[in-house]
Amino acid sequence: MKFIAGPCVIESAELLDTVAEKIVAINRELGTDIIFKASFDKANRTSLSSFRGPGLEKGLLMLQDVKSKWGLKLLTDIHESWQAAPVGEVVDVIQIPAFLCRQTDLLVAAAKTGKIVNIKKAQFLSGVDMKYPYEKALNSGAKEIWLTERGNIYGYNNLVVDFRNIPDMLGIAPTVVMDCTHSVQRPGAAGGKTGGNREFVPSMALAAKAFGANGFFFEVHPDPDNAKSDGPNMLKLDDLESLIKKLLSC
């Protein structure tokens, strides 16, 4: 079972260290190998004035520091194909954002790095549709490809998860990850920001496990209400260990 956890965006070195220290402690306690996630640039924020992060150059230096200091594997997302090569020098998993999962050049560039490629399912696609992004990455040289469920658009400012997408995607890829925090988003529903319902995160995780998910993605923060991105749907850092324990035991 794979676990991915970390803050939505790189806010500061102090935040990265706080989250990394907790993840290392959980790994030691539970025997897990949680992959550390943080974004160097949130290029798809709702508003132009929203915080985006430190950018590629500084962000990769900060992520490399997490790897060197804490010994954690890393995951981050890219939004443009030219970012793949430098990102691939630092991280273990390159993530393709949901809105961009059909961008051929992005998938090809990620695949060519030789790193694991995690493709998030678009909010407008079915699980079966993910055959085509998967094949683009596979035929471009990717050795390991994960697919991630994160809900579908349901009217305005809302998402719904059709858990049938998980077994459908398991018919395509051996690893299917449930994005337990983005799936409880309320896109654009908080006055120029994305809202969410973090109280449903544990249920999303447990339901996904019942449908066969073998990977789980959690954005976490020590103080989600004051996070600079995605706070309403992020899991509190102190709640991460108990939820992972529950997933491991069921």
Reading the block at residue 150, the tokens are 């994160």
Four-point Cα dihedral 81, 86, 92, 95, nearest 10: -20
Task: Output the pTM of the full model.
Answer: 0.94
Residue 107 tokens read as: 């998938």
- pLDDT value at residue 71: 98
Angle, nearest 10°, between helix axes 240-249 and 13-30?
Answer: 30
Residue 122 has what DSSP assignment? P
Q: Tell me, what's the pLDDT at 1?
A: 96
Identify the pLDDT of residue 192. Answer: 55
What are the tokens at 6? 């970390």
Q: Which residues of the chain have pLDDT under 50?
A: 189
Question: Coil, helix or strand for 65?
Answer: helix
Output the CA torsion sign for 106, 107, 112, 115: positive
Report the C-alpha gap between 66 and 156 in whole angstroms. Answer: 38
